[in-house]
Structure 1
Amino acid sequence: MTYEVYAIKYAEQTARVRGDNYMFDDNHDAPDPIDFYMWLIRGEGRVILVDTGFDAAEGQARGRPIRLDPGEALKPFGLQPEDVTEIIVTHLHFDHAGGLHLFPNAQLHLQTAEMAYATGPCMCHDALRFPFTVGHVVEAVQRLYSGKITFHDGDSEIADGITVHRIGGHTKGMQAVRIRTQAGWLVLASDAAHFYGNFLHGVPFPIVVDMQDMLDGFATIQALASAPKLVVPGHDPLVRAHFPAGTAEHVTRLDVGPLTDPTL
Structure 2
Amino acid sequence: MDRHYEVYALKYATVMRDAADNFLHKDAHDGPMPLDFYFWVIKDQQHTILVDTGFSGCSARERNRQLLHEPIDLLASLGIEPEDIEHIVLTHLHYDHAGNVASFPNATIHLQEAEMHFATGKWMCFEHFRHFFSADDITQVIRKVYTDKVQFHNGNATLLAGIELIHIGGHTPGLQAVRVNTRRGPIMLASDAMHYYRNFATDNPFPAIVDVTEMLQGYRKLRSLVPSDNHLIPGHDPLVADIYPCLETHSSIFRLDISPG
User: Shorter chain as normaliser: what TM range?
Assistant: over 0.9
2:116 matched residue in structure 1: 115
Taking the TM superposition and a 5 Å limit, the aligned residue runs for 1:121-132 are 121-132=122-133
Find the counterpart in structure 1 of residue 210 from structure 2.
209
Q: Which runs of 5+ in 2 are unaligned?
A: none
CA distance in 1, matches of 2:29, 2:183: 38
Unpaired runs of 5+ in structure 1? 260-264
Partner of 1:5: 7
Output the CA distance in 2 between the equivalents of 1:89 and 1:246. 25
Partners of 1:28 and 1:75 lie apart in 2 by 42
Could you say what secondary structure the match of 1:249 adopts?
Answer: strand
Deviation at 1:82, TM superposition (A): 2.2
Q: Aligned partners of 2:126 and 2:164: how far apart in 1?
A: 32
Match of 1:239 in 2: 240
Normalization by structure 2: what TM-score?
0.96
Does the 8 Å contact 2:86/2:108 carry over to 1? yes
Amino acid at match of 2:54: G
Give the superposition deviation at 1:96: 0.2
Conserved in 2, the CA contact under 8 Å of 1:55 and 1:69? yes
* CA distance in structure 2 between the aligned counterparts of 1:72 and 1:245, rounded to whole angstroms: 16
1:105 matched to 2:100? The reply is no
Code of the residue aligned with 1:129 in structure 2: it is R
- Greater Cα offset, 247-256 or 183-192: 247-256
Moved over 3 A (4+): none
Q: Equivalents in 1 of 2:77, 2:110: separation in Å?
A: 24
Does the 8 Å CA contact 2:10/2:252 hold for their aligned counterparts?
A: yes
What aligned pairs does 1:44-83 form with structure 2 within 5 A after superposition? 44-83=45-84
Q: 1:262 matched to which residue of 2? A: none
The TM-score with structure 1 as length reference comes to 0.95
**Distance between the aligned counterparts of 2:247 and 2:152, measured in 1?**
32
Q: Distance in 2 between matches of 1:148 and 1:21?
A: 35
C-alpha separation in 1, matches of 2:5 and 2:118: 31
Provide the rounded CA distance (Å) in 1 between the counterparts of 2:181 and 2:83.
Answer: 26
AA aligned to 1:37 is Y
Aligned to 2:144: 143
User: What fraction of aligned residue pairs are identical, expressed as a percent?
Assistant: 43
Verify the 8 A CA contact 2:11 2:39 in the aligned structure 1: yes
Secondary structure at the aligned position of 2:40 is classed as strand
Q: Answer yes or no: is the 8 Å Cα contact 1:74–1:80 preserved in 2.
A: yes
Structure 2 counterpart of 1:156:
157
CA distance in 2, matches of 1:241, 1:25: 25
Q: How many residues align?
A: 258
Contact 1:35 1:237 in 2 (8 A): yes
User: Could you tell me which amino acid in structure 2 is paired with residue 61 of structure 1?
Assistant: E
Hey, what does 1:195 align to over in structure 2?
A: 196
SS at match of 1:87: strand
How much does 1:44 deviate? 4.0
Taking the aligned partners of 2:222 and 2:43, their CA distance within structure 1 comes to 21
CA distance in structure 2 between the partners assigned to 1:19 and 1:148 by the alignment = 40
3-state SS of paired residue (1:71)? helix
More strand by percentage: 2
Quick check: 2:47–2:86 contact (8 Å CA) kept in 1? no
